[in-house]
Homo-oligomer: A and B are copies of this chain.
Amino acid sequence: MSKQELKVLGRSDDVGACCSGLLTAPLDEDQAAELAKVFKALGDPVRLRLLSMIASRAGGEVCVCDLTPAFDLSQPTISHHLKLLRQAGLIDCERRGTWVYYWLVPEMTDRLAGILTRPAGEPLPARTAPAGAAS
């Protein structure tokens, strides 16, 4: 339940590896394609809420049966969104008896946060009085 499924991310090193930041050097096509899959998984309000419910849960994991009733959506739809989040490497899950529990993969959110963080003390080219503006 936790290790089959097409591993969307990384062909080899996966989560921990890769690129410093999107803001410091132009992404190449492969990096961009890989990253886009993760951001696309975050690009839906239902999945964002699911992720935040899972991530903020004391104890670190949530049973699907606690997630589904929080939405005005069918159970297959929630299951589908959870699958996408898992394929993006943002969460993982495990069956335990009758129930399935999900938890956050913090390495992935850490990686995204790092990618979106600009190196401290950047020049920050004073975007206020654009040089030769059309005056």
Contact = CB atoms under 8 A, between A and B. Distances in A.
A52 B25 contact: yes
Nearest to A124: B106
A79 interface: no
Nearest to A92: B127
8 contacts: A26-B56, A29-B45, A29-B49, A35-B42, A37-B43, A39-B48, A40-B44, A106-B118
A46 to B, nearest CB: 8
Copies in the complex: 2
Interface in A21-55: 22-27, 29, 32-33, 35-37, 39-49, 51-53, 55
Q: Name the prevailing secondary structure of the A interface residues.
A: mixed
Interface in A116-135: 116-118, 123-125, 127, 130-134
A14 interface: no
Interface string A82-112: 0000000000001111000101101001101
